[in-house]
Amino acid sequence: SIVVIGSLNMDMVVRTKRAPEAGETLFGQEFALSPGGKGANQAVAAARLGAEVTMIGRVGKDSFGSGLLEVMKQEQVHTGYISQSESQSTGVASIVLDEEGENRIIVVPGANVEMKPADIEALESVIRQAGIVVMQLETDLNMVEAAAAIASRHGIPVILNPAPAQPLGDELLHQVTYLTPNETEAGILAGIPVESVDDAERAARILLQKGVQHIIVTLGSKGALIVNASGSLHVPGFPVQAVDTVAAGDSFNGALAWQLTRGKTLDEAVRFANAVGALAVGKAGAIPSLPRLQEVKQFLQE
Ligand code: ADP
């Protein structure tokens, strides 16, 4: 089974002709609340494909928190280890979308960053039973490090999706089995500019040197690049009409985890994850855009 350790956020999206200036009040055109957070998206992505998924995370004792728990349950994700904070609010992203398609986003992580190393250490028995552990960086970095150390101690593979990008210590990188940056994140982690697939490969080689076992750089419509001790392999993407790229990376990570727990080779798993990512960009929204297994099979004509 898959254990996702990560964030749960409520996205509050306001559509407006233009963003207000300081001190100004405007009428907007539309408002939507949508469940998200990279952890929640990745958990649902895997569950929709048929994976057994347990999520470890933290929400507030507020209506957004209970709403997120409800969504996760509906999606068949085990929620028994999603705790509720006494003092912090549920993570939120306040998103202003203007007519030009520009967005302005403020994230308040709230309860997501309240989960500390001691909290994850108390869940060692959950981690050691996992087939794979999946994490991102919207939670406390010390907690992520503690979780990776536990997984590594028990020989459980770890997927780390290093988003949003931040510099990571060598000790953590050593404990990561599969690192899944996009091109920008790969550049930041490796400390070099990444503007082409060749640059992405150079960045991945630097990360390989730092002790990561497999680096999978996602390349948007170009698919993904696998770099490990046996070499590099570019796994091409699937051409689709991109409607909304939100959650492309999240769907990719959820799909990758599911394929790996089913014993697929990394090449096969990445090809499948590319298909899931392509289907997710073909639809609007985060969680609403995540495909079910049947759709993926049809898409791949299996
Ligand atoms: P992120 O969303 O994290 O920036 P990417 O843009 O690299 O990550 O997208 C993740 C994956 O989603 C890609 O590796 C690819 O499989 C798929 N994908 C993203 N954009 C497209 C696209 N325009 N067409 C087809 N597949 C896409």
What CATH number should be reported for the domain holding residue 167? 3.40.1190.20
Q: Report the pLDDT averaged over residues 190-194.
A: 96
Q: For residue 258, tell me if it sits in a domain.
A: yes
**Catalytic residue ranges:** 250
Give yes or no for residue 284 having a pLDDT over 90: no
Q: Is 42 part of a structural domain of the chain?
A: yes
Distance CA 272, CA 268 (A): 6
Residue 29 lies in a domain: no
Measured between alpha carbons, how far is 293 from 204 in angstroms, rounded to an integer? 30
* The pLDDT of residue 286 is above 90: no
33 CB-near residues (< 8 Å, 6+ apart) = 10, 11, 12, 13, 67
Give residue 7 CA to ligand 1 midpoint distance, Å: 20
pLDDT digits (tens, 9 = 90+) for 49-73: 999 999 999 999 999 999 999 999 9
pLDDT tens-digit map of 77-97? 999 999 999 999 999 999 999
Domain assignment of residue 24, yes or no? no
What pTM did the predictor assign?
0.96
> For residue 27, is it within any domain?
no
**Ligand 1 atom nearest 251 alpha carbon:** 12
Number of domains present in the structure of the chain: 1
- Given this model, what pLDDT does residue 294 score? 97
Whether 85 is covered by a domain: the verdict is yes
For ligand 1, the distance from its centroid to the CA atom of residue 150, given in whole angstroms, is 30
Residue 97 inside a domain? The answer is no
Asked casually if ipTM beats, i.e. exceeds, 0.85, the reply is: yes
Residues of the domain holding 294: 2-8+37-90+111-300
Q: Is there a domain that residue 32 lies in? A: no
**The residue to which tokens 């990188």 are assigned:** 173
Q: pLDDT tens digit string along 263-279?
A: 999 999 999 999 999 99
